[in-house]
């Protein structure tokens, strides 16, 4: 700790379109002394996630908007460095939603102890954390995936998509993913072991490309992106197929609403189910997720990638990078040391 000062990132402006670094401000704040029942936590890894873009608008949603001049929030792994609490001791590793800052004082509410022996610390923000759980709940519970089905995944090399692809393979499905670089496509086929993948940025016609990969049609589409990917899925869905509406990142920076999708009438003629979900509503499945994911990881059946950016001052850049495909797997920012 430098002279009891914590660096944190504040929201400076509500971004218009793609955020820029000018929409964020690096602030330095004094760290208060802890009182009885409190702990001081030093953050180590913080998550940047696409949903945070939604919290930058001043509008009602399932989470409140970020406030101008206040620190942003988000998933974070830290270590207790001072404690006057019976529930936490110095050296405990904790998961919280108080990211985007180096240190914070807490009375323990919203802190969850995590075990560094179970998984690398940063994995609690990804494959064994929120994004892994999103893939699990979305595919198996919302998508009601069945063995042997055909599955299309967009943003397939990202944090959620890469886990969706591999769970679908574990369930004996035929899986095709779309991603934004040849390197990501190679990883999906060679490491994640899916049946096919393509680079949507170099494909002449994404809708035709998806059709070429699915001669027997798509049973489950896992939607992370929106736009032409959703059009392609609707075009090639099989009757009674399911579309899991997880995210639509291609639209998060739109300044004006974009009309569409034009193929929505297929929902009727093909009798499709299109269902949205928010992972935080499904914490009742946390135990199931941890059991299954823990087993798959121990058996070497799930692989994952992380893109780790160093330094809290680079967190805005890492966040903006999500919208440019700069991450492979989970985008994480390292903002403190793992141990003293
Ligand atoms: N419903 C929920 O509870 C929930 C929870 C977590 C996440 N999500 C959603 O799930 C999706 C994936 O999240 P994540 O955390 O795993 O992020 P991620 O996939 O690790 O990162 C975002 C990726 O999106 C792709 N992308 C960005 N802009 C794009 C565009 N205009 N068109 C196509 N692809 C674009 C980029 O990959 P390429 O290089 O492939 O373009 C980028 O790497 C997001 O839509 C997110 O909002 C939903």
164 Cβ inside 6 Å of ligand 1: no
Please list the pLDDT of the chain residue by residue as tens digits (340 residues): 557 999 999 999 999 999 999 999 999 999 999 999 999 999 999 999 999 999 999 999 999 999 999 999 999 999 999 999 999 999 999 999 999 999 999 999 999 999 999 999 999 999 999 999 999 999 999 999 999 999 999 999 999 999 999 999 999 999 999 999 999 999 999 999 999 999 999 999 999 999 999 999 999 999 999 999 999 999 999 999 999 999 999 999 999 988 889 999 999 999 999 999 999 999 999 999 999 999 999 999 999 999 999 999 999 999 999 999 999 999 999 999 998 7
Read off the pLDDT of residues 86-139 as tens digits, 9 standing for 90 and up.
999 999 999 999 999 999 999 999 999 999 999 999 999 999 999 999 999 999
Strand 103-106 and strand 150-153: the pairing is unpaired
C-alpha closest to that of 43 among 97, 108, 118? 97
- How remote is the CA of residue 301 from the centroid of ligand 1, in Å? 23
Query: What are residue 223's DSSP bridge partners?
Result: 245
Q: How far apart are CA 31 and CA 7, in angstroms?
A: 10
Strands in 55-204 per DSSP E: 76-83, 93-96, 103-106, 112-114, 150-153, 174-179, 196-199
- How remote is the CA of residue 34 from the centroid of ligand 1, in Å? 38
Asked if 31 contacts 6 with a C-beta cutoff of 8 angstroms, the reply is yes
- How remote is the CA of residue 154 from the centroid of ligand 1, in Å? 8
Q: What is the pLDDT of residue 1?
A: 55
Q: How far apart are CA 217 and CA 211, in angstroms?
A: 7
Which of the listed residues 133, 137, 160 should we mutate to test ligand 1's pocket, taking the one with most ligand atoms within 8 A of CB? 160
47 Cβ inside 6 Å of ligand 1: no
- The half-sphere exposure of 244 on its side-chain side, counting CA atoms within 13 A, is 28
161 Cβ inside 6 Å of ligand 1: yes
- The half-sphere exposure of 40 on its side-chain side, counting CA atoms within 13 A, is 14
250 Cβ inside 6 Å of ligand 1: yes
Please list, in sequence order, all residues whose beta carbon lies within 8 angstroms of the beta carbon of residue 288, skipping any fewer than 6 positions away.
136
327 Cβ inside 6 Å of ligand 1: yes
Q: How far apart are CA 250 and CA 299, in angstroms?
A: 35
pTM: 0.98
Burial 260-296 (b: 16+ CB within 10 A, else e): ebebeebbeebebebeebebeebeebeeebeebbeeb
Asked if 241 contacts 219 with a C-beta cutoff of 8 angstroms, the reply is yes
Q: Whose CA is nearest to atom 24 of ligand 1?
A: 155
Asked if 145 contacts 164 with a C-beta cutoff of 8 angstroms, the reply is no
Q: How far apart are CA 327 and CA 329, in angstroms?
A: 6
Please list, in sequence order, all residues whose beta carbon lies within 8 angstroms of the beta carbon of residue 256, skipping any fewer than 6 positions away.
none
Please list, in sequence order, all residues whose beta carbon lies within 8 angstroms of the beta carbon of residue 174, skipping any fewer than 6 positions away.
148, 149, 150, 151, 195
Which pair of tokens denotes residue 282?
A: 């499904």
Read off the pLDDT of residues 309-326 as tens digits, 9 standing for 90 and up.
999 999 999 999 999 999
């Amino acid at each position: 700790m430098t002279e009891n000062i914590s660096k944190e990132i504040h929201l400076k402006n509500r971004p218009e379109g793609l955020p820029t670094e000018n929409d964020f401000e690096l602030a330095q704040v004094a760290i208060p002394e802890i009182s009885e029942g409190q702990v001081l936590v030093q953050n180590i890894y913080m998550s940047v996630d696409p949903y945070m873009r939604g919290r930058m608008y001043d509008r009602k949603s399932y989470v409140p908007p970020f406030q101008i001049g206040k620190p942003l929030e988000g998933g974070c792994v830290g270590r207790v460095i001072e404690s006057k609490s019976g529930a936490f001791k110095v050296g405990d590793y904790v998961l919280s939603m108080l990211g985007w800052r180096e240190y914070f004082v807490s009375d323990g509410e919203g802190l969850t102890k995590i075990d560094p022996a179970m998984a690398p610390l940063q994995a609690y923000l990804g494959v064994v954390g929120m994004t892994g759980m999103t893939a699990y709940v979305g595919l198996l519970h919302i998508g009601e995936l069945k063995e042997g089905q055909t599955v299309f995944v967009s943003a397939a090399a990202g944090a959620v998509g890469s886990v969706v692809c591999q769970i679908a393979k574990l369930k004996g499905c035929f899986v095709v993913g779309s991603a934004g670089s040849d390197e990501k496509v190679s990883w999906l086929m060679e490491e994640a072991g899916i049946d096919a993948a393509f680079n949507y940025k170099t494909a002449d016609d994404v809708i035709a490309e998806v059709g070429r990969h699915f001669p027997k049609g798509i049973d489950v589409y896992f939607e992370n992106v929106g736009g032409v990917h959703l059009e392609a899925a609707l075009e090639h869905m099989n009757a009674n197929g399911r579309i899991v509406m997880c995210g639509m990142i291609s639209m998060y920076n739109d300044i004006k609403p974009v009309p569409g999708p034009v193929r929505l009438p297929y929902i009727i003629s093909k009798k499709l189910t299109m269902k949205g979900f928010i992972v935080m509503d499904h914490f009742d499945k946390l135990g199931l997720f941890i059991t299954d994911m823990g087993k798959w990881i121990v058996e070497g059946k799930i692989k994952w990638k992380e893109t780790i950016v160093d330094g809290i001052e680079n967190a805005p850049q890492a966040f903006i990078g999500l919208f440019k495909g700069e991450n492979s797997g989970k985008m994480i920012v390292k903002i403190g040391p793992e141990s003293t």
